[in-house]
Structure 1
Amino acid sequence: MKKITIATDWLDGCSGCHMSILDMDERLVELIKMGVELNATPITDFKEPTEEVDIGILEGAVSTDHHIEVVKNMRNKCKILVAIGDCAVFGGIVTMRNYFPVEELLRRGYIETESTVDGKIPTSPEIGKHTKLVKAVNQIVKVDFYIPGCPPRADAIYYVLRELVEGRKPLLVGDLLRYD
């Protein structure tokens, strides 16, 4: 049986989409029995795909130059790219930042809050520099499939992954697009 490799990563968001992946519960085992191998995920703590993968999954919006690198790297290393969750698909709630200058938001969030003592805006190569605007993944690279929702239902994620693993194109309709 040929292994189907999957890598996931998250950008700017709450990690709720990865919680929905975990909510697939025993269906994760079913996918593994179908030949799925998790190459890189926050669950395995590998920071990026170590090699080419069949399916790449991105959660979260693009809001730093580091995120742009992560998105381009995932696109280059995967055959099929899936944007999962409203932040990756549409930009989500994170795009509310687009109404204000980045410097103003950072100053307010890290220096001027009522509870902050000796505030400092964090800087780190791991965080990266904030982009002027927050964007959805497809505004940076080509996305092959979308799983909307905040967070998306585990049933929808499982359906899309199963269809892709079995060589079919998923079509999300009906109850798979219902949010509880």
Structure 2
Amino acid sequence: MTKKLKVATCSLAGCFGCHMSLLDIDEDLVDLQKHIEFNRSPLTDIKTLGECDVGLVEGGLCNEDNREVLLEFRKKCRILVSVGACAINGGVPALRNQFSTEECLEEVYQQGFNTTTTLIPSDPEIPQLLSKVTPNHESVDVDYFLPGCPPPAAAFSEFLTALIENKPIHLDYPYRRFD
């Protein structure tokens, strides 16, 4: 039996839609499971990251925790993949980039609709916001990009199958278009 491809996934500043699209592979996921082993992932509930062949990272960077997770994925994953618009260009979370961090926090905690407190939280358990939301490739080297919001399920299947079969990665046009 050939060695299974070890795959880890995580969600940073995103909506978790890319993970849902991965699950939309449906019964193909059962076939892929014969060739891949999930490591750290919400799909497995494994919390620590071991050495992996592939890291699928959904979402960009909006806080210090996101940065630490991304750096760990880059260090422990032989192949790192930015998955979806948020990971590739900041996506919807990057809409806050037109405002300062202070303006965002004031709007949410002091001026927002139905606020019950005017205190901006400063608990050390809450990850420190970065000044801007950034795509992953601005902080680490990324090997592949799976575009879309979210990428279609077939793109995940095509990508993982190519890796399993040790074939060049090529996503046909239907897996890269968004209309």
- The TM-score with structure 1 as length reference comes to 0.92
* 2:123 is the alignment partner of 1:115: no
Extract structure 1 runs of 4+ deviating beyond 6 A: none
Mark the CA change 1:119 to 1:14 in structure 2 (over 3 Å): closer, same or farther: farther
Task: Name the structure 1 match of 2:146.
Answer: 147
Counterpart Cα distance in 2 of 1:165 and 1:126 = 39
Q: Give the whole-Å Cα distance in 2 for the aligned partners of 1:19 and 1:116.
A: 32
Question: 5+ residue gaps in structure 2?
Answer: none
How far apart in 2 are the matches of 1:128 and 1:48?
19
1:61, CA displacement in angstroms? Answer: 1.1
Number of the residue aligned with 1:40: 40
- Equivalent residue of 1:152, what SS? coil
Query: When the two structures are superposed, what TM-score results if normalisation uses the length of structure 2?
Result: 0.93
Q: Which amino acid in structure 2 is aligned with residue 84 of structure 1?
A: V
Aligned to 2:4: 3
1:57 maps to amino acid: L
Cα separation, 1, equivalents of 2:154 and 2:101 = 37
- Determine helix, strand or coil for the equivalent of 1:118: coil
Query: Please, which runs of 5 or more residues in structure 1 have no aligned partner?
Result: none
Matches within 5 A, 1:1-180: 1-33=2-34, 35-49=35-49, 51-125=50-124, 127-179=126-178
Identity fraction in percent: 42
Q: Deviations over 1:26-74 (max 9, x none)?
A: 11111112x200011112222341x100000100010111111111100
**Structure 1 residue 169: deviation in Å?**
2.6
Distance 1:126 1:36, change over 3 A: farther
Counterpart-to-counterpart distance in 1, 2:125 and 2:155: 32
Q: Which moved more, 1:143-152 or 1:105-114?
A: 105-114
